[in-house]
A and B are shown apart, each in its own frame.
With several copies, the nearest count.
Chain A
């Protein structure tokens, strides 16, 4: 069993127009920038993928990664908790021009909805957002005298994640707080593609230390020195 792709372009080749794509990371930490840029490369060469629904905590920063994906007009809808950043202009302008749709979800609810998608739980109840406008139109129920909002699972066709080490079976570890949404998104997508800083052979990772078991990963690709969104933005980068 070898789930490794030889190239970034090969790794993102299967993503179709109209797909729902989860992109890991919290801001730049844990954001799979190289995989995201590979989607842009393919779009610029072929016109696909487009009309994407993207799930991410944020809405991009500056002109790289997710922001660049939005800037190139590839994103139809964004499901996120916090569409602000140091430089959120790309999203903001498209949103105010009604060129992109936004589904705003509280951060913990977003995480739990993604986990639920991965765990086969179609709906759950949470106290979060009860009594607020983000609960409008949702089923409300009481348990033990307290009010809760029913939330639905969130699934995706693809998840793109950034991991630290990965073996050819797809077992993954992460670097520090770059873990964030990545392990959850691995669970919730039909096809999860991970970029890893080091690709190793099965057996090289201690079974006790694996954060994402390989069953949740369908493909991986080595990006030995991944870029950090924060540093790219400080340098005023834009993609391509």
Chain B
């Protein structure tokens, strides 16, 4: 019995909501896994903010072209119909509302849709990259994340305490325990692991989970996490 989804499983669940032909930006790191789990017959077009549409798998190790990389600076390949463009055009796609969905990681998501995913506070070297741009403009901004932090604290909170990436921008959160929409300043529970009681889920969540219609079972195939 699943107590908690693996990252691969969270990514799989998020991938099920991406329509055929959608234009999608996946945040650096964990969100990149979403690309692997497109349902058969669906082909999203992936955007990387450094200037490629419709990139794909990297070539074999040793034959990489280091001018052909994604936002995470990993080597990638191209699919038929790919296009290159400069950074201003790339962020015009982002800011101008042309992406269908952006899927990002999170430190905290608040019930008002605020997202904190760029800084854990004032120490060290701050670095923002495209995070603050990506939360604005995409028609749908979704987050994939563990439901709680490594030390068990809620990541879904009433108000973010970490520095914000964007205000009121997230509309859906895929966690290791549930799928939760953000509507009118509330968390609205859509799916949860069958074995988990609503009370247990609420106890691990930093703000009230609202109900609106039936709660689906969050059923995910077994997947290896690499």
A and B directly contacting (CB within 8 A): yes
- Judge if A184 is at the interface, Cβ distance under 8 Å: yes
Q: What 1/0 mask marks residues of chain B from 61 to 97 whose CB sits below 8 Å from any chain A CB?
A: 0000111110001000011111111111111111111
Against B, the Cβ 8 Å flags (1 = close, 0 = not) of A129-164 are: 111111000000000000100000000000000000
* Contact of B68 with A177 in the complex, beta carbons under 8 Å: yes
Contact A207 B82 (CB under 8 A): yes
The answer to whether A228 touches B127, judged by C-beta atoms less than 8 angstroms apart, is no
- Chain B neighbourhood of A131, CB < 8 A: 114, 164, 166-167
Interface stretch of the complex, out of B31-39, B128-136, B200-208: B128-136
Given A107-B87, A119-B91, A169-B45, A213 and B127 touching (CB < 8 A)? no
Asked if residues B164 and A132 are in contact (CB atoms below 8 Å), the reply is: yes
A106 with B133, Cβ < 8 A, contacts A83-B127, A207-B78 known: yes
Are B67 and A210 interface neighbours, CB within 8 A?
Answer: no
Instruction: Determine whether A19 belongs to the interface, using a CB cutoff of 8 Å to chain B.
Output: no
A104-B127, A128-B133, A177-B50 known; A112-B164 Cβ under 8 A:
no
Interface pair A26/B125, CB less than 8 Å apart: no
B21, B136, B167, most chain A CB atoms within 10 A: B136
Q: Is the CB of B67 within 8 A of A118?
A: no
Given A106-B132, A210-B84, decide whether A132 and B51 contact each other with a Cβ distance below 8 A.
Answer: no
Instruction: Select which of A168, A203, A208 is within 8 A of B84 by beta carbon.
Output: A208
Which candidate, A10-18, A27-35, A37-45, is the interface stretch facing chain B?
Answer: A27-35
B96 near A118 with CB under 8 A, answer yes
Residues 123-151 (chain B) with a chain A CB within 8 angstroms: 124-133, 136-137
A111 engages B90 (CB within 8 Å): yes
Other-chain contact of B47, A134, A202, A215 (Cβ < 8 Å): A215
B178 at the interface (CB under 8 A from A): no
The number of residues on chain A lying at the interface, defined by a beta carbon within 8 Å of a beta carbon of chain B, is 77
Nearest CB in chain A: distance from B168 CB, A = 8
Is A115 at the interface (CB under 8 A from chain B)? yes
Q: How far is the CB of B207 from chain A (nearest CB, A)?
A: 19
CA distance A168 to B79 in the complex (A): 13
- Per the bound structure, the CA–CA distance linking A176 and B65 in Å amounts to 9
Q: Which of A46-54, A66-74, A90-98 lies at the binding interface?
A: A90-98
In angstroms, Cα B122 to Cα A115, docked, is 30
Pairwise interchain contact B132-A134, C-beta atoms closer than 8 A: yes
Is A84 an interface residue when CB atoms closer than 8 A count as contact?
Answer: yes
Mark out the residues of chain B between 146 and 187 whose CB falls within 8 Å of any chain A CB in the assembled complex: 163-167
Within the assembled complex, what's the spacing in Å between the Cα atoms of A178 and B166? 29
Return chain B residues, CB-CB under 8 Å to A30: 67
Distance to closest chain A CB from B84 (angstroms): 5
Return A206 CB to nearest CB of chain B, in Å: 9
Sample of 16 more A-B contacts, CB < 8 Å, known A106-B129, A108-B94: A1-B20, A29-B69, A30-B67, A88-B125, A95-B125, A107-B129, A108-B133, A112-B88, A120-B92, A128-B133, A134-B128, A176-B68, A210-B85, A213-B53, A215-B53, A229-B66
**Cβ-closest 3 pairs across A and B:** A203-B80, A202-B81, A108-B91
